[in-house]
Amino acid sequence: MTTFLIAYLALTLNAEAAERGEALFRDVEQLSRTNQKAEALAKAEEGVRELDRAFAENKKIGRYGMDGLRLAARLAREDFLNHEKSLFFCGKMAEYADGDYWRVPARLETALTYRAMGDFERAQQQYDAIAAAGERYAPSSLLPQAEMVFFEMHDLQRGRNLLDRALMNEAVNGRERFHSLRNCAQRALARGQRDEALQWYAMLEKLPFGQAEERDRYLSQAWYEMGKIEESRGRANQAKSYYRQAMEREGGEMRFRVRAREALESIQYFE
């Protein structure tokens, strides 16, 4: 009877440890949103101690814990430039993962941290491991690998080839493809290369999407941004054309359709 009670109490305490750990990581997200970054990171370290206790007794770590670890890895890397701490949280993600569903995000975060360290060889090893995980997961590494080669390794020809392949691959997440394309355009604008920025946005019309609504949503933003570029250099007719396309795209994102209408009306008012 005593042995049973001890075992029961141990299981209960470790179940509670898992719940406490996940609750702490929910706090991490909230603290991060309110810009309390140092407090969030400290809370994440406390959460790991609880999750370690639960994991030692074969308790499954749930979504809040895994997502919280991913957020903690980003906080350490991006807000504190603490790459060692970021790798620690990435390692915990990989340790707790019971399959590729979480192991792949752990590798993606690990690769990002190695990239921040300038260790592109180790980052590439993570992308290679994701590609080897199978057809379901391989596309998730295509875009970040291409961005690393293009932006950070400065291998422009190979990087551009990789980018084009990733952007045209419908299996790669559509939102991530659009964000990457927009990032390319914004970087071009920062260099004063407006024609190149327009070319990046114009690529969106050629990209395949599984759902027409998704394509329309991104097109409305791209055309609005293209209108702003043309307006910034005094090409009113071209700007109006892009604004009109964005405004009239029925499946487009409403905020960009509204902004496009307001921009178009502003130009027409002063003509």
Q: Left (φ > 0), alpha (ψ -120 to 50) or beta: where does 192 sit?
A: left
Q: Would you state the pLDDT for residue 130?
A: 97
112, 77 in Cβ contact below 8 A?
yes
Average pLDDT (50-55) is: 94
Q: Is 27 within the bounds of a domain?
A: yes
pTM of the model: 0.88
Is 108 a residue whose pLDDT tops 90?
Answer: yes
Q: Would you state the pLDDT for residue 8?
A: 39
Secondary structure class of 35 (helix, strand, coil) = coil
Confidence of residue 264 (pLDDT cuts 50, 70, 90): very high
Written in H, E and C, the secondary structure of 207-268 is: CCCCCHHHHHHHHHHHHHHHHHHHHHCCCHHHHHHHHHHHHHCCCCCHHHHHHHHHHHHHHH
104, 130 in Cβ contact below 8 A?
yes
Is 16 a residue whose pLDDT tops 90?
Answer: no
Least confident of 22-31, 94-103, 123-132: 22-31
Confidence of residue 1 (pLDDT cuts 50, 70, 90): very low
Confidence of residue 2 (pLDDT cuts 50, 70, 90): low
To the nearest 10°, report the CA torsion of 173, 174, 175, 176.
50
Q: Is 87 within the bounds of a domain?
A: yes
Average pLDDT (72-100) is: 97
Q: Would you state the pLDDT for residue 177?
A: 97
Q: Is 229 within the bounds of a domain?
A: no
User: Which whole-number Å values give the CA distances from 138 to 69, 132, 144, 177, 194, in the listed order?
Assistant: 22, 7, 12, 15, 33
Average pLDDT (236-260) is: 96
Q: Would you state the pLDDT for residue 10?
A: 45
Q: Is 62 within the bounds of a domain?
A: yes
To the nearest 10°, report the CA torsion of 70, 71, 73, 74.
120
Token pair for 203: 């690529």
Q: Is 37 within the bounds of a domain?
A: yes
Range of the domain at 21: 7-96
Q: Is 198 within the bounds of a domain?
A: no
In tens, the pLDDT along 130-170 reads 999 999 999 999 999 999 999 999 999 999 999 999 999 99
Domain count, the chain: 1
**DSSP sequence for 79-103:** IS--HHHHHHHHHHHHHH-SSHHHH
Average pLDDT (13-37) is: 86
Token pair for 249: 């795209």
Average pLDDT (58-85) is: 96
CA neighbor of 257 nearest in space, from 249, 265, 266: 249
Q: Is 57 within the bounds of a domain?
A: yes
Q: Is 243 within the bounds of a domain?
A: no
Cα separation, 72 vs 44, whole angstroms:
6
Average pLDDT (233-262) is: 96
| Percentage of the chain exceeding pLDDT 90 | 88
Q: Would you state the pLDDT for residue 17?
A: 85
